[in-house]
Homo-oligomer: A and B are copies of this chain.
Amino acid sequence: MSTGKLVQANGRLYKRSDRPVVVVCVDGSEPDYMEVAMKAGRMPWLKSLLDSGVNTNRIAESVVPSFTNPNNLSIVSGCPPRYHGICGNYFYNQETGEEELMNAPSYYRAKTIFSSYQDAGAKVAVVTAKDKLRLLLGHGLDYSQGNAICFSAEKSDLANMADNGIENVNDFVGMPVPSVYSADLSEFVFAAGVKLLQTVRPEIMYLSTTDFIQHKYAPEEEGALAFYEMMDKYWAQLDELGAVLTLTADHGMNPKHDADGKPNVLYLQDLFDEWYGKAEARVILPITDPYVVHHGALGSFATAYLPKGQSVDEAIKRLSEVDGVELAISGPAGCAMLELPEDRMGDIIIISERHLALGTSEERHDLSALDRPLRTHGGITEQKVPFISNRPMSGIPSDMRLRNFDAFYCSVNYAE
């Protein structure tokens, strides 16, 4: 049902259309993955799209910290974390004095594009791989109206009408519940997306995978090639079903290990302890979450709270001289630059270089579960992501800095 009306979400206007719009977020999809898989002949649909010359094949920039939650929430909000509040998995709550996981919907401060479309009477659907994102992405959806669906592959067997707007998902998709550490978890998302497009045909749909594969495998490894080959088949189906299909990612991915495969880590808490005394400063790694098997809670982004009375300027000066620190910036300046909420960032924001990860104290990171050389993300060096659509979008102004969170905006407003 196209009303010709506009939907407003977070200060932007979105057109409505009879053509369903599907945005795919391929978690951790450093642009190389698709390039290499296409060259290897493993992504025939994508290759043919890009060869046809009518497509749009762009590079966009993700939110920094280039982590999963800040970017997924930005994509479904059409705006950066400063507006919606989700700037990591983990933060130090200055109001309570506690370190907290930021995974409950109450941490989210905006209104999603989905919720706004639902208010306008549109059918909407969201499918995620991991359940940790589901509640946040479904913020504000009203399942009692029968036009909103939001569930995860991980907990697909628990989906029900009251909490997800759908039930018997495994029968519907024709797949059992996949393991949380598997490529199947992401495949389930696409299989569900195809089914939903064939049946419910939502006006806007979001499909979000997990980066288990990208953390494990470099682009040229078979584990990665097979994964991209799998996705290509589903994208061809979504395209065939008439959707405007836009592919982007939450962040890139880089090796952060030395030649021996040992993680390359700057332990910031240890550094601050040396400078200010044991536990006087507090280092927070916003990548921290209960799923640490594939990255050991190591990423390229950290924030720190200094001991009372210590100069931020001084600390920035010292940090800037540390090898491997790409950026050390004050909380207010970093939040303005990266569009982050100041109340959830510390006195200083620290970003490391391409091949270096940031840790707290060496003793606090259990790296025994890392079965492969560390590949991770979080920094500016993982900000470049694909932004590919099956429709041309020639109306995008050329002075616009394309962001991954423009995926819905561009798909509904500019896709031809």
Contacts and interface: CB of A to CB of B under 8 A. Distances in A.
Contact of A332 (B109, B311, B400): B400
Nearest to A6: B95
A94 interface: yes
A39 interface: no
A248 to B, nearest CB: 16
A94 B336 contact: no
A109 B11 contact: yes
Q: Size band of the A side of the interface?
A: 20 to 34
A324 to B, nearest CB: 20
Contacts of A212: none
A342 interface: yes
A216 B395 CA distance: 44
Given A312-B395, A398-B313, A401-B336, A94 B13 contact: yes
Interface in A4-38: 5-6, 8, 11-13
Nearest to A85: B11
Nearest to A395: B312
Contacts of A83: 11, 82-83
Given A11-B83, A11-B85, A12-B341, 12 more contacts: A6-B95, A11-B342, A11-B344, A12-B343, A13-B342, A82-B83, A313-B397, A313-B398, A316-B397, A332-B406, A333-B399, A336-B401
Closest 5 CB pairs of A and B: A330-B397, A11-B341, A333-B399, A332-B400, A312-B397
